[in-house]
Structure 1
Amino acid sequence: METEHDVVRNAQVMDARARNISHNVRCTECGSQSIEDSQADVAILLRKLIRDEIQAGKSDKEIYKKLEEDFGETVLYAPKFDLQTAAIWLSPLLVAGAAAGIWAYKKHRQKTNVHIMALNLVRGVPLTPKEKQTMLDILTPPPREGTSPSSWWRSLQK
């Protein structure tokens, strides 16, 4: 026989499950809010449906599946990964890959233009300040740890 404490605890657990599920379900009328945050009539009905399903002993997975079957895949905030949603799931990776590729190409291009700048120096064509700085950055080796650049440079000149 359940005590009053057990009844209250079970009600709290059921309420927490219902709120958790409601936060992950999109309001079909609002679209931008979860049914937990929405006050639309359909959101109120969906919250009641979820509570009824929990009382009937259904698992969270079964409730999500029922909502998806009744209202479509877009009712859930986390759609499943399949061929149709692959572009949505992979688009951040594609954008990041493209950005990394552009960055790498610019770095490569900067380094490959060094030979053109060197030829221009030989021909007597003056370098722009940016080209001078690029040449210095590329041609100046990094100092060894524990030595200052001036002492390192002096050791090379000996």
Structure 2
Amino acid sequence: MVKKSMIAFVAMLFALVFFNESKAQTYATGVGLRAGVTNGLTVKHFIQEDVALEGILHTRWRGLVITGLYEVHKNIREVRGLRWFYGGGAHIGSWNSNRVPPPWADPDFRGTTVVGIDGIIGLDYKFVDAPINLSLDYKPAFNIINGAGFWGDELALSIRFTF
């Protein structure tokens, strides 16, 4: 039921973005929520017109992970306010599993600290008449220290208040 609702919401988002010809504007900073495989908080700040730094604080395996990303944004000319972006960065965090261990861990797993690198690619849209930004992205990660190697399941929708 939740997956069907998420698919319907994403379809409506894309319909609004691609069929809305209104003039959208860019933003300097956005603060909001990120929902997907992991859930958390996101802050995106543009340091140049087409370059942003994004910080994500999110949960995974009953733990907390902090991710920092450097992103390059490119306009999509057909829809003003819509950009695609790519970039990379790193993460550090801890996973805890007092009850049920992750599927990749042995039964005695109780938690660990993880450090790794991240990539990101996605779409970013700023509405013209509201201080709202929507972002849909794919963020694969590779844990270098302590934890299951490659994670390729991180798809998320971010909703930010912009100023």
Same fold at TM > 0.5: no
- Higher share of residues assigned helix: 1
Q: Which has the larger radius of gyration?
A: 1
Q: TM-score, normalised by structure 2?
A: 0.21
- Greater strand share, structure number: 2
Query: When the two structures are superposed, what TM-score results if normalisation uses the length of structure 1?
Result: 0.21
